[in-house]
Structure formats: C-alpha cells, structure tokens
Amino acid sequence: MKKIIFFLLLLCFTGSYGQIAHKRKLSMLGSPFEITVVAKDTVQANKYIDLAVAEVKRIENVISDWIPTTQVSAINDNAGVKPVKVSEELMALIERAIRISKLTDGAFDISYASMDRIWKFDGSMKEMPSEEAIKKSVEKIGYEKIILDKKNSTVFLRDKGMKLGMGGIGQGYIADKIKELLYTNGCTSGLVNVSGDINAWGRQPDGSQWTVGIVNPMNKNKVFAMFPLEDSAIETSGSYEKYVVFNGKRYSHIIDPRTGYPATGIVSVSVFAKTTEISDALATSVFVMGIEVGLNLINQLKGIECIIVDDKGNIHVSQNIDIEKYKP
C-alpha cells in the first residue's frame, strides 16, 4: 500500500483565459483518488471528471484481481490449467510489465500476487518467519513463467497457484489512460492523483505550472523540494508507516519478490517520468533494489529521475536532479 507524501499546490480560480481549475476527491480502487481539470466552467469540468471516473471503472473491470469476473481473475483461476484469451489492452500491459521485470532483474514482478502472506505489518507479528517459510513463500513467483501467445492473444501462468497482481503498475496505468482520454476529449490541462500516482498535463488557469511538493517522511511537517510538473508524472512508494523491527533492523511492507524478504534501508522512493505507469513500476523496483543499485539503474534511463529517502532521513538523488534548485 502506498502512502501519498505530496502537497499539491493548485490554483483553483478563474485565470486570464476565462478558465477554472475544478477539483473532485473520491475513493476509488480502495484508495484516495483526486482529479483536477481546467475547463471553461463547472459544467464542462464535471463532464471531464465523469469521463475519468468511468474510465477508472472500465479499467478496474479488466485488470483487478479482486473482482472475480475480470480477465486477470480468469488468468489466475486457470493457472497451470489452460491459457486465457485476453484483450489487446491487457496483453500489452502484461507485456510491458514483463519488460520492466527483465530490466530490474525481477525486483518488479506482477506475479508477486502468488506470494504467501507470511509477513504481518499490523502489529501482530512478534518474530521473523523462518528462513524455510520465507523461501517457500515465493516459490510460485516468476515473471518468466508468464507465457504470452500474441498470435492467439492468450496468457498462461505455467504453475498452479500462480497469480498476477497489477498493484505495482495498475494505478499508474490508470492515471495515464485518464490523461489520454481527457486530452482526446478536449481537456488540455489537468492533474490526476491516483493514491500518489500523479500525472499532470498542460498548465493552471493563470499559466503557471502544476507544482508538487515532496516531504521527508521522517519530518512530515517540512517540504524539502518543490517540483514543477508539465506533461510529466511522479509516483512515490513509501514504507514509513507499515514496517516491523527485529533485532534493531527495520523491515518495510514492500517485499522483494525474488527472496521473500522485506526491503530495508529506504522509507520512500519518488520517481519522475513521462508516464505514471513507468514511475509506478520503477518506484517499487528501486525500493526493492536499494539505494546504490536503484540509483545506478535510474541513472542509465533517459528522462527518468529519482529521489530516495533512507531510514535515517538522508536524501539521495539521481544524477540529473539538483535538489538545491528545487528547495522551497
């Protein structure tokens, strides 16, 4: 579960072009959902937002693994049994997810849903699971066991008990699809925030850029950086409220799908990219990979930047971010 650690600075008034910024807050996908659109009046703005809400529901009924009638649920139900025919949209999303898995050496893996839930972060766990239990918990995970047949448009999970879960990429994908849909329908400026997956396009009514402020989870009352967003996205993964401590070591609720052990050493990762889908998947990946390996990966990817806060409150940034430039 992600926690939003942003402050969105929105100017919700009529600008020099006779437009307004209109915001609506909802709860969707089991998470906070917020959308702001720039329009000529509230009637037009509400039409745009209604389109966005409908798009969320449409995609949810394709990619959710908790709704029994979705294509993803059908794939999971038939794991180790038979391939399942899927839409071109879902096939493409799974294919992109597998590419990210290869890029991150499995730190990101949509078959993570196959994991046994042996770690508890609700205060009930008093000792670490055994090494044997941890090893066994990830036996069914493995993106290389997701078999795609593009000719017949089918997806097959090789082993019984395997499951796909889009939690690490789905919300980012939804944010991107909302932007695409609204822009196509004439909304040339807006901002969508799906539980911390933020995509902004165009500008505010007065011509200024959308701005996001990032706080250090170890000092939530202070914004340490202010970043403009224009036709770009940001996502933050955080573990500063859901974790356990054993033998003086802090274990986050974000689990490495390759080992079954929780990520350590990091409390938040923010990734900037052109699409929220990429930001979403890479933020989780960097969290799992750790500071050094994670930043090394980000520094090799064009147009993608990263901010990491470690469990001591120290801030680490990718090579093209001058944090001093963005201090408030």
Q: Do 235 and 196 form a contact (C-beta atoms < 8 A)?
A: yes
119 vs 144 pLDDT, higher one: 144
**How far apart (Å, rounded) are the C-alpha atoms in residues 52 and 66?**
21
What pLDDT is stored for residue 220 in this prediction?
72
Q: How far is CA 71 from CA 110, 139, 168, in A?
A: 15, 24, 17
pLDDT exceeds cutoff 50 at 12: no
Task: Please determine, for residue 14, whether its predicted confidence score (pLDDT) is greater than 60.
Answer: no
Looking at the predicted structure, is the pLDDT value of residue 16 above 70?
Answer: no
Q: Which of 10-14, 226-230, 297-301 has the lowest mean pLDDT?
A: 10-14
Q: What does the DSSP assignment read for 68-99? A: TTSHHHHHHHTTTT--EE--HHHHHHHHHHHH
Element (H, E) at 286: helix 276-289
For residue 240, what pLDDT is reported? 65
Measured between alpha carbons, how far is 231 from 219 in angstroms, rounded to an integer? 29
Per-residue pLDDT of 39-89, as tens digits, reads 999 999 999 999 999 999 999 999 999 999 999 999 999 999 999 999 999
Q: Using 50, 70 and 90 to split pLDDT, how confident is the model at 154?
A: very high
More confident residue, 243 or 307: 307
State the CB neighbour count (10 A cutoff) for residue 294: 25
Query: Which one-letter DSSP state was computed for residue 16?
Result: T
- Place 126 in a pLDDT band, splitting at 50, 70 and 90: confident
Helices 170-184, 42-63: inter-axial angle, 10-degree rounding = 140
The whole-number pLDDT of residue 243 equals 78
Q: Which helix (H) or strand (E) holds 23?
A: strand 20-28
| Secondary structure letter of residue 293 according to DSSP | H
- Confidence category of residue 17, pLDDT binned at 50, 70, 90: low
Structure tokens at 165: 């879960």
Q: What is the reported pLDDT for 13?
A: 41
Write phi, then psi, for 301 (nearest 5 degrees).
-105, 120
Looking at residues 9-19, what average pLDDT do you find? 50
Band (pLDDT 50/70/90 cuts) for residue 149 is very high
CB 193 within 8 A of CB 200: no
For the question of whether the overall pTM of this predicted structure is more than 0.85, the answer is: yes
The β-bridge partners of 201 are 190
Spatial CA neighbour of 276 closest among 195, 205, 210? 195
Task: State how far the Cα of 76 lies from the Cα of 129, in Å rounded to an integer.
Answer: 26
pLDDT value at residue 237:
84
- Mean pLDDT of the chain, nearest integer: 90
Of 323 and 98, the one with more pLDDT: 98
Amino acid at residue number 143: Y
Q: Among 158, 140, 138, which Cα is nearest to 288's?
A: 138
